[in-house]
């Protein structure tokens, strides 16, 4: 039987690279994307394209009621911060784009589906280095969640708990870009911008981190940006 | 400001007693009921009535896609066991009515809503004594989930994690019935039967445990049953 993995796929850079990693690790991937009242659907469309590009066996959308997360800036509860350089994003501070218990919910629902599919693993593209303000992106959170699966599921009690694989957790954005590049991921299918235009805004925290990652990796991002980006040597030719 | 608690309310006996306990503990309660392809809506109607009876400030229904849990007998994936006495239900064996990662999903979604509402606690009516086959009804699971909240949420990292309160976890069914009775809960509003008729079937595991609980508590269940039940002394008068 095929080895199955459920992949949490938002359509962003990180989750897309994590999904590509699952494929290269030999898994038949089952992608799961959450709809929870995000202000734009651009990312969801990206998730669809990435899942197709990676040959996912199935791709499900799970709709959650927007009231669950409504205090977050991502859902209109506060201002999305823009205009700061990646270096200026405060470390150790929880950003206004924090979404309450989001990865706990995502991992839980993915784990339920995985147990049903008899999948071996769930992949999640969290990373703790850049943007470390989110508590649910840290290794100690992932480890605590693994313990929940060991104690709270049939597979866990049976000694074969579902694996939670967070391949990017210790990587910088540049390393993530390099990994995606080496796995042949088409970055033009992914979307990171907090806003949902035709082109990425280039100034929100998420765009800034992405651009910095590509630059440090010595690569040019194939995504079109609203603002002019100096890609340095990578942009030449 | 009112002290708020989110209450996981299925409309069954246990969750209804847990909700009544939250009220008596001084909380303004916010009830959450999940719809996930259960074969009958009788229990959901009971949840609605119990929430109203207890004066819930809000009652939300969260719909989850049925494919998440589809291997469970509760969703038609296997036969619902019937016809055994409560004493004959095997201990330590995970029943076919096990729903993969269900309480992990329920607690996660409730926690997200709770963090958003700035609630202090989530109440869940799990109990580990009777029907101890479910891994996600045990104290060690609840404790692991608390650790996830301590590490993975803003409130937790800030040193004031959401409380997960499982007031029934060490109680027998009889003790749960007695507690509900002492709190003035109207048991006729609740529903425990795995089937969804006009009357409770009286023979499924869930009915058998409920009946046994009432008998041991010396009380007569006000719910109508398909089969004749000998309530002993409690049924007289």
ipTM of the complex: 0.87
Q: Decide if pLDDT at B81 tops 70.
A: no
Task: Tell me the chain A residues in contact with residue B70 when contact means C-beta distances shorter than 8 Å.
Answer: 116
Question: For residue B228, what are its two tokens?
Answer: 């004749």
How far is CA B13 from each of CA A193, B185, B192, rounded to the nearest angstrom?
Answer: 47, 10, 6
pLDDT confidence tier of residue B43, bands split at 50, 70 and 90: confident
Q: Which of B34, B94, B100, B102 to mutate to test the interface with A (most CBs of A within 10 A)?
A: B100
Which CATH code for domain A4-193?
3.40.50.620
B152: distance to nearest CA of chain A, Å?
4
**What is the average per-residue pLDDT within A217-235?**
90
* Nearest alpha-carbon partner for B218 in B236, B204, B192, B206: B236
pLDDT confidence tier of residue A232, bands split at 50, 70 and 90: confident
Which residues contact residue B164 at a Cβ distance below 8 angstroms, ignoring those fewer than 6 apart?
B107, B111, B121, B122, B124, B142, B145, B146, B149
How far is CA A147 from each of CA A159, B71, B123, B140, B221, rounded to the nearest angstrom?
Answer: 12, 23, 21, 10, 39
pLDDT number for residue A205: 83
| Weakest-pLDDT range from A69-83, A131-145, A216-230 | A69-83
Nearest to B152 among A62, A69, A136 (CB): A136
| Weakest-pLDDT range from A94-108, A199-213, B165-179 | A94-108
| 3-class DSSP assignment, residue B13 | helix
pLDDT number for residue B75: 53
Nearest to A112 among B69, B153, B154 (CB): B69
Question: For residue A94, what are its two tokens?
Answer: 């929880």
User: Do residues A173 and A212 lie in contact, with contact meaning Cβ atoms separated by under 8 Å?
Assistant: yes
Q: Give the neighbor-by-neighbor strand order of the sheet with A121-123.
A: A58-63, A28-35, A4-8, A121-123, A163-165
| pTM score, whole prediction | 0.88
Query: Angle, to 10 degrees, between the axis of helix B139-152 and the axis of helix B102-117?
Result: 40
Burial class (CB in 10 A: 0-12, 13-18, 19+), B38: buried
Cα separation of A71 and B163, whole Å?
A: 20
Cα separation of A135 and B84, whole Å?
A: 47
* Nearest alpha-carbon partner for B164 in B1, B2, B6, B3: B6
| Weakest-pLDDT range from A151-160, A169-178, A182-191, B21-30 | A151-160
* Cross-chain residue pair B152–A98, CB shorter than 8 Å: no
The count of other CB atoms within 10 Å of the CB of residue B4 is 18
| Weakest-pLDDT range from A219-223, B77-81, B109-113 | B77-81
pLDDT number for residue A27: 98
**What is the average per-residue pLDDT within B37-53?**
86
| Weakest-pLDDT range from A53-57, A133-137, A212-216, B46-50 | A133-137
Nearest to B116 among A63, A71, A157 (CB): A71
pLDDT number for residue B93: 62
Which CATH code for domain B4-235?
3.40.50.620
Domain ranges of chain B: 4-235
pLDDT number for residue B195: 79
A224: distance to nearest CA of chain B, Å?
34
**What is the average per-residue pLDDT within B33-47?**
83
pLDDT number for residue B205: 83
Cα separation of A117 and A220, whole Å?
A: 38
pLDDT number for residue A42: 84
pLDDT confidence tier of residue A137, bands split at 50, 70 and 90: confident
How far is CA B193 from each of CA B45, B97, B198, B207, rounded to the nearest angstrom?
Answer: 13, 12, 11, 5
Please list the residues that pair with B32 across neighbouring strands.
Answer: B8, B60
A125: distance to nearest CA of chain B, Å?
15
Residues B185-219 as b or e (16 or more Cβ within 10 Å = b): bebebbbbbbbbeeebbbbbbbbbbbbbbbbbbeb
Q: Decide if pLDDT at A80 tops 60.
A: no
Cα separation of B226 and B17, whole Å?
A: 24
Which of B45-59, B147-161, B221-235 has the largest mean confidence? B45-59
Residues A155-185 as b or e (16 or more Cβ within 10 Å = b): bbbeeebbebbbbbbebbbbbbbbbbbeeeb
| 3-class DSSP assignment, residue B142 | helix
Cα separation of B203 and B200, whole Å?
A: 9
**What is the average per-residue pLDDT within B48-63?**
96
Task: Tell me the chain B residues in contact with residue A71 when contact means C-beta distances shorter than 8 Å.
Answer: 115-116
pLDDT number for residue B237: 46
**What is the average per-residue pLDDT within A138-158?**
93
Sign of CA dihedral B115, B121, B126, B128: positive
A101: distance to nearest CA of chain B, Å?
5
């Amino acid at each position: 039987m095929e080895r199955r993995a459920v992949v949490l796929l938002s359509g962003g850079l990180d989750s897309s690279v994590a999904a590509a990693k699952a494929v290269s690790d030999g898994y038949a991937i089952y992608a799961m994307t959450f709809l929870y009242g995000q202000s734009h659907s651009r990312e969801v469309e990206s998730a669809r394209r990435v899942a197709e590009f990676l040959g996912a066996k199935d791709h499900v959308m799970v709709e959650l009621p927007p009231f669950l997360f409504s205090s977050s800036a991502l859902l209109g509860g506060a201002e999305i911060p823009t205009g700061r350089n990646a270096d200026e994003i405060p470390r150790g501070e929880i950003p206004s784009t924090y979404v309450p218990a989001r990865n706990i919910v995502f991992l839980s629902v993915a784990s339920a589906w995985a147990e049903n599919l008899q999948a071996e693993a769930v992949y999640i593209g969290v990373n703790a280095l850049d943007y470390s303000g989110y508590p649910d992106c840290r290794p100690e959170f992932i480890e605590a969640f693994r313990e929940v699966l060991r104690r709270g599921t049939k597979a866990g009690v049976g000694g074969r708990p579902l694996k939670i694989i967070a391949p990017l957790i210790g990587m910088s954005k540049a390393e993530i870009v390099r990994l995606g590049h080496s796995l042949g991921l088409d970055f033009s299918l992914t979307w990171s911008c907090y806003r949902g235009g035709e082109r990425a805004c280039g100034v929100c925290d998420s765009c800034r981190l992405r651009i910095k990652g590509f630059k440090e990796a010595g690569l040019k991002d194939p995504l079109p940006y609203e603002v002019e980006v100096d890609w340095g040597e990578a942009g030449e030719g």
